[in-house]
Chains A and B, each alone.
Chain A
Amino acid sequence: MNIWKTLTMTAAALAVSAPAAMAEWQPRKPVEFIIMAGTGGGADQIARLLQGLIQSKGLSPRPFIPINKPGGSGAEALSYMKDKEGDNHTLLVALNSFYTTPIIQEELEIDVLSFAPIGRMAMDTFLLWVNTDQEDITDLDSYVAAVKAADSTWKVGGTGSGQEDSILTAMMEKELGYEVTYIPFPGGGTVAKNLVGNQIDSTVNNPSEQMEFWRAENTKPLVQFNGERTEPFMDVPTAKELGVDIEYYMQRSISGPAGMDPEAVAWYQNLFEELFNSEEWQAYCESDGLTCEKWITGDELAAFHEAQLKRHEELIEAVGAESIMSK
């Protein structure tokens, strides 16, 4: 009787401990998928697509839960990540405010280079959009003429002072020699809605935010800021073609908080590489004008972030920090 008992106990103990010893690290509770922008914007759509893919493909034993933290041009999300140092169940869906917000708001003391680099999912395109009601505006020249005629009351919608689109707007003001009124909204989706409703005059949205309105012919793109023309906007000229020296992209990457365990980092890197190479993701990139040719992760991604951080410091210095912050 006693031997029988010992045997079952041992077997039970083995059954419990063996898989635990063999299995690699994986999430033990739902993973918070922090989006540093509002609902309906580019980052939001990407996060929700990725979350769904993870679940439908059964890639994670625990769900990913997208949480929007758009406050303070991404400062809310970045501070949250800083608080979560060493946590293995929090990831950030980052965009360019990942660089700009820590530069502009030094007092937050956020060092994004300390974050765990998981992977770069895409480089997104910026386009200049106006409502199709504005029939007189057909190209960049007529646009510039209209903005100049409005004498700085031209309303450009964006996602927040210090966000990448405000930098791009400031770069355009400088290059094209006009001034506009910049109005911040809580996310790219809301900006798009306000452009369709004629509450604002123009915006520099990413394609995914305007795609459906463009297909419904509510809005039209005038210029793209990529180095080369990108699908599906092959008939939209680049700024450089028109002699305007602006080339600007939006990075879409995933980061973990500083001090995340290396095993967890490796697990997430594998997960997102698999997603990056999936048919669904590549199809999304193509339909929504994102460039997803090369998967970048680990040290290479860290180097990319470092270079981008430096570039944004220079850009902000060139246009002047005060020109992108509201009065």
Chain B
Amino acid sequence: MDSILTLLGAGLLQSFEPLNLAMIFLGCLAGLFIGAMPGLGSVNGVAILLPVTFLVPPTSAIIFLAALYYGAMYGGAVSSITLGIPGASTAVATVFDGRPMAQSGRADQALMAAAIASFIGGTISVILFTGFAPPLALFALKFGPQEEFALMLVAFATFIGLGGDDIPKTIFSILIGLVLAAVGFDIISGQPRLIFFGMVEFQRGIEFLVLAIGIYGIGEMLWTLEHTKGAIQMHKVEFGLKRIVKNLGQVKKYLPTTLLGSVLGFFVGTLPAAGATPAALMSYGLAKSFSKDGDSFGKGNVSGVAAPEAANNAASTGSMLPMLTLGIPGSPTTAILLGGMIIWGLRPGPLLFAESPDFVWGLIGSMYVANFVTVILNIALIPIFIRVLAMPFSILAPIIFVLCVVGVFATTDRMFDTWLMLLLGCMGYLMRKLNYPVAPAVLAIVLGPLTERSLRQSLISSQGDAMTFLERPISLVCILIAVALVLFPVISNILRKRKATLKAAE
């Protein structure tokens, strides 16, 4: 432990060097804007800015890119909350409650909660990273296909409770998501399947961001347009010191979910298969399941913003772990960081911690500093962000529409996906109109492919014996948790109804 502290001290000192500090600041700022622009996620940001980093030493370079990565994680929340368009796929879950909060004039609160939860998530995960990187890397190795599948079941189970009381509608929504997720090539045999109308464009599957921007960006826009008739959403834009202090006082309210989301996010991030998007969705689901007023989720509960934001920042730190110790990037962005490392002559793998301690600890030290810088930048910029909402919605709606179209086209470079996004947007609007929850469909399309792959891998390796999930301790525990999560809302519902009837009888 002593040696870890010394190493960390050296790392922190390194990140306070003027060049590195400047790199952190620039990275966070650039990331914030890249993350906030729909269609320009951290992947593009890191890829475009990679060459810039060849001008500075490797440690400063990775510090810059890592700071950019965090900055983008924070920034994703901004467009999710103010415009209802997920700025990056990791920020989809932030829309669920962030958007309703903004519509009811509490955008500053939501942005504040996102910033603070991100800060807590980021910091907790760096602490976990500092203290337990090697044992956690070993634990991640214990995660075979069976464990991955069981973990996915937990995620689905948390979402059964998401649709409120209407469990059949939730299940229907999950199934729609699963069908859309299955479009494209079969992941095991490589055969094309579910190619609608024989259109070859479907072979590549439905990109997650296309669905997310469609359902949330376009669907929300139509919905809001119908309800506000183009009026201004937020009349008074005030954001003084008083308001900041008042918002800080709210932290109590969402602290437990933030802590839960941080630990969960970090852990899911360390698994090479997952990444920040599933982590954020799972954290949201769990927060809802455990909340006392679960029904207010999706209608503007501040915990619903804090939970996914804590998780996606924690996961972004977590995904550094498999990248550094196993050479497997946990997310597309870390894959590009990995490319940078290879150029700088650093070979990620089990020996990296021992062979390049300066690099590893410099990076870890910078994560602490980067978290501080981003939270301060974020809070300072909130007044600018919420000014967006002071515009009448009749002006905002076309801007959102353009951003959605540009965002999708910039990501996939295909007109087909743009049309598909518009179509899915109309579908999202209809689902809302008919009171179907859309969040479970979004979850299913993210987790569907991961779940299918791990299920089929497990069954192939066990020669088709489904007992394999119950024979392995980690997967057994996960499955028990999943069952409990499904039964919990059902039972509490029955109990509540019984109480109500008893009361009525009295």
| Chain A residues within CB distance 8 Å of chain B | 30, 32, 39-40, 44-45, 47-49, 51-53, 55-56, 63, 65-66, 68-69, 71-73, 75-76, 79-80, 83, 101, 104-105, 107-108, 153, 155, 160-162, 181-186, 189-190, 192-194, 196-200, 211-213, 215-216, 218, 325-326
Check A196/B141 contact, CB under 8 A, given A72-B191, A75-B185. yes
Closest chain B residue, CB of each to CB of A84? B413
Q: How far is the CA of A169 from the CA of B48 in the complex (A)?
A: 39
Contact A52 B339 (CB under 8 A): yes
Contact B54 A55 (CB under 8 A): yes
Q: How far is the CA of A192 from the CA of B463 in the complex (A)?
A: 22
Within B46-90, the residues touching A (CB, 8 Å) are 47-48, 50-51, 54
Q: Which residues of A contact B339 (CB under 8 A)?
A: 47-49, 51-52, 66
Bitwise, B390-414 to A at CB < 8 A (1) or not (0) is: 0000000000000000000000010
Closest chain B residue, CB of each to CB of A69? B204
Q: Please name 15 pairs of A and B residues whose Cβ atoms are closer than 8 Å in the assembled complex, sorted by A.
A: A39-B328, A39-B329, A40-B272, A45-B342, A52-B50, A52-B343, A63-B47, A66-B47, A72-B185, A75-B192, A160-B188, A196-B141, A199-B461, A216-B349, A325-B189
- If A55-B54, A72-B190, A197-B142 are given as contacts, then 15 extra A-B residue pairs at C-beta distance below 8 Å, sorted by A number, are A39-B328, A48-B336, A48-B338, A49-B343, A56-B54, A72-B186, A72-B192, A79-B200, A155-B461, A189-B328, A193-B322, A197-B140, A198-B141, A213-B350, A216-B350
Within B299-346, the residues touching A (CB, 8 Å) are 322, 326-329, 332, 335-336, 338-340, 342-343
B460 contacts the other chain (CB 8 A)? yes
Q: How far is the CA of A48 from the CA of B328 in the complex (A)?
A: 13
Q: How far is the CA of A53 from the CA of B54 in the complex (A)?
A: 10
Bitwise, B463-498 to A at CB < 8 A (1) or not (0) is: 100000000000000000000000000000000000
Q: How far is the CA of A211 from the CA of B347 in the complex (A)?
A: 9
Contact A216 B457 (CB under 8 A): no
Closest beta carbon of chain A to B34's beta carbon, Å: 14
B265 contacts the other chain (CB 8 A)? no
**Candidates A32, A200, A215; contact of B349 at CB < 8 Å:** A215
User: Taking each of A47, A52, A79, which has the highest tally of chain B beta carbons within 10 Å of its own beta carbon?
Assistant: A52
Contact A68 B335 (CB under 8 A): yes
Contact B338 A105 (CB under 8 A): no
Q: How far is the CA of A282 from the CA of B335 in the complex (A)?
A: 23
Contact A211 B349 (CB under 8 A): yes
Q: Which residues of A contact B142 (CB under 8 A)?
A: 197
User: Taking each of A72, A183, A215, A325, which has the highest tally of chain B beta carbons within 10 Å of its own beta carbon?
Assistant: A72
**Candidates B51, B140, B335, B349; contact of A63 at CB < 8 Å:** B51
Closest beta carbon of chain B to A149's beta carbon, Å: 16
**Candidates A68, A161, A198; contact of B188 at CB < 8 Å:** A161
Contact B54 A181 (CB under 8 A): no
Q: Which residues of A contact B273 (CB under 8 A)?
A: 190
Contact A193 B141 (CB under 8 A): yes
Contact B47 A65 (CB under 8 A): yes
Contact B185 A40 (CB under 8 A): no
User: Taking each of B190, B348, B351, which has the highest tally of chain A beta carbons within 10 Å of its own beta carbon?
Assistant: B190
Contact B338 A75 (CB under 8 A): no
Within B346-365, the residues touching A (CB, 8 Å) are 347-352
Within B183-198, the residues touching A (CB, 8 Å) are 184-192
The 7 closest A-B pairs by CB, nearest first: A212-B349, A72-B185, A48-B339, A197-B141, A52-B343, A199-B144, A72-B190
Q: How far is the CA of A68 from the CA of B43 in the complex (A)?
A: 12
Within B179-229, the residues touching A (CB, 8 Å) are 184-192, 200, 203-205
**Candidates A55, A181, A213; contact of B51 at CB < 8 Å:** A55
Contact A181 B347 (CB under 8 A): no
Q: How far is the CA of A75 from the CA of B204 in the complex (A)?
A: 9
Q: How far is the CA of A71 from the CA of B44 in the complex (A)?
A: 21
Q: Which residues of B contact A30 (CB under 8 A)?
A: 47-48
B453 contacts the other chain (CB 8 A)? yes
Q: How far is the CA of A108 from the CA of B185 in the complex (A)?
A: 11
Q: Which residues of B contact A194 (CB under 8 A)?
A: 144
**Candidates B191, B335, B342, B457; contact of A52 at CB < 8 Å:** B342
Contact B457 A184 (CB under 8 A): yes
B254 contacts the other chain (CB 8 A)? no
